[in-house]
Structure 1
Amino acid sequence: MTTVSWVEVGEDSGFGVDHLPYGVFSKPGELPRVGVAIGAYVLDLAGLSAAGLIEDRHWFASGSLNGFMVAGRAVWQANRARLTELLTDETHRAGVEPHLVPITDVDLLRPVDVADYVDFYSSLDHATNAGRIFRPTGDPLTPNWKHLPVAYHGRSGTVYAAGTPIIRPCGQRRTAPDQPPTYGPSLKLDFEAEVGFVAGVPSAAGSRVAPDSFADHIFGFVLVNDWSARDIQYWESQPLGPFLGKSFATSISHWVTPVAALEAARVPQPAQDPAPLPYLQVNEPWGLDLAIEVLINDQVISRPPFATMYWSSPQQLAHATVNGAPLRTGDLFASGTVSGPEREQRGCLLELTWNGEDHIELPDGTKRLFLEDGDTVTMRATAPGTSGSRISLGQVSGTIYPATP
């Protein structure tokens, strides 16, 4: 079957027929529904279903992807094959074309109802840099880091769609080691460039999901910005992990890229030494060759490479469920900050400015230690597609607003 669509798709669109990411959208005066991106359009799946062109068991006339995601891998594959057929076979054009809506005419919404949210810490370069910042005289990695994917449990209620305003959080922070804490707006507001995956098929309590079963449970991938108030985080994370310094906001992209769309992006992950325990061993290449860009006020400041991540997504899922914790539809798992070995590949301001010791200079000449009110942070990513072009994982952006009085 040809992989060329009769829908006009720009060469640099990133939303060709080899991608077909899912999202939720609404038109003025209408209820939200599920669609897929193709070129500069959203294909209305609820409309296709009403016309009898695709199977739908109340999956698509919905404000989230959860109903479709829980249907399982066989249904995902069948729907993807059918959409590919409809968009590449000219004989279907007359029936499908009325259900193409320009993206500029819709509002894109949060694609999933998030059940639980877990954020990992899986970049060797990021963990090493953070360790050198906070433990300059000790080993930068904690003893457990190369034995398991370290993570913290986040707050699902503050996972927002891209474009949602980010209010500067307030909390306790200590401005000098010999001073008591004070209360006020975070002075070290940061971003974290991350990639997340979303669970579709749940698992039973008391069971675990092996790495080789990843694609049977996980629906797709999103871009994630795990906003961080570094001063609040540092003061509260003694001895337990992040809490208020993280829970105020996490942003995700509007589009969920299906696991199947990233086959051409799969590469071997970096060598792991020591070898992981058996439950974390992966028999397939599950590194992902994603090229990420981070922008502040439309100016590129970093290009973190996702292929360098030490712990892969199937290993993260295996570890998250090895104790018998059930997987739920809508669970979101984020990679942790993505950073590479070079300074221009660091995925957060904590690393880029070495915790505020050195400014970064933006292309327009302005400088930053941490984020200022009015700053807009945007992350975008591309990956190899099956047709030889690159697919786009969309983007996730957010603008910083002053703290609430």
Structure 2
Amino acid sequence: MRLMASYDLMETLRTTNQWLGASAQAMGAYPAAALMPNPALQWLAAWGEVTERSFSRMATKPDWGITTVVGEDGRDHLVDIDIEVNKAFGDLVHFKVQGREEMPRKVLLVAPMSGHYATLLRSTVISLLPDCELYITDWHNARDIPVSEGKFDVEDYTLYLVEFMKHLGPDIHVIAVCQPAPLTLAATAYLAQDDPKAQPRSLTLIGGPINPDAAPTDVTDFGRSVTMGQLEHSMIQRVGFKYKGVGRKVYPGLLQLSSFISMNAETHATAFSDQINRAAKGEASDHDRHNKFYDEYLAVMDMTAEFYLSTVDRIFKGLEIAKNEFVVAGKKVDIGQITNVAVKAVEGEKDDISAPGQCVAALDLCTGLPDSKKAFHLEPGAGHYGIFAGKSWRNNIRPLVLDFIDENAG
């Protein structure tokens, strides 16, 4: 019950702050308040507006918000977001463009399961959709998955990717962003051993911790500084009675969010203070830069305890991918068995999550792959977010990735 009480306490604090924000906003909106113009009341209403919006977003999965795409004919085409494969812990989603012939570039975008929804890659999807037949992994919030569905750890995650790749066929090109990079590499190696004809044509790994020890960061330092017992005791909770996954052990999204914010607390505090002042002056808008970023950033999801703990234990502490010792369903996965899948690693010079050196380690593990099938790009001045969704991605990295796909289209 201790674990469940902790989860419900966090949810109670969230809803309380949401209520306080809504109440303050309502008080500032009373018609009587307009009879006595007072900057303090305006500031109170602005604080309430920003606070209510922020805490309500923490419990809401963002919408993709992608309705149309411009085709080669210059016309807007409607986009249907269809579930191609439905599974308990995640779906394979297809962005199907109406009235457009299937694009020759068939791309599977592997989204992270590290506390945020797949919609974190919305801008990445928007940038690729005009040129690709695009699919994405859409992972589910663990709090909404009944305990009866069983466990979900790094091996299950890898097997999900194997199933998705087999479903899409061997003419796909896979792009893995951040957290899933090592497991996507393992899934490709699994196919190389188990079903070579089902391997993708190319694999692009963007800012992923293939070898976390290659370049230490705050993330890797934290993983080394705590024992697995300490981690389980302090980070794992049971889903409360409010959700379908009641009783399931999870690493709560709210806990992950507090960790994210604490890493740059001063920056976030300034951003929210500035937004409150803009709202008080009437300068804030529903889709301004602040709201556009934080509506997504604050929307967090729970991870299963097994996935979180096995990621820390096996990927960061045990370095099973980096040492080529990863085992899936009792079968050792040999990355050296990848012999005809072109592999590209992309890193950002100023990435403080997966520092330069961590992702490019994948190329050394691909001992069976000729140098002509390997590629690497280090983006100058780019941080972690910029290499898959920012200006660096749009202007530099995306064209390079598309060229890499075309070069290895078979």
Please classify the TM superposition score into its range, dividing by the shorter chain length.
under 0.3
Structure with greater helix share of residues:
2
TM-score (norm 2): 0.24
Q: Which has the larger radius of gyration?
A: 2
Structure with greater strand share of residues:
1
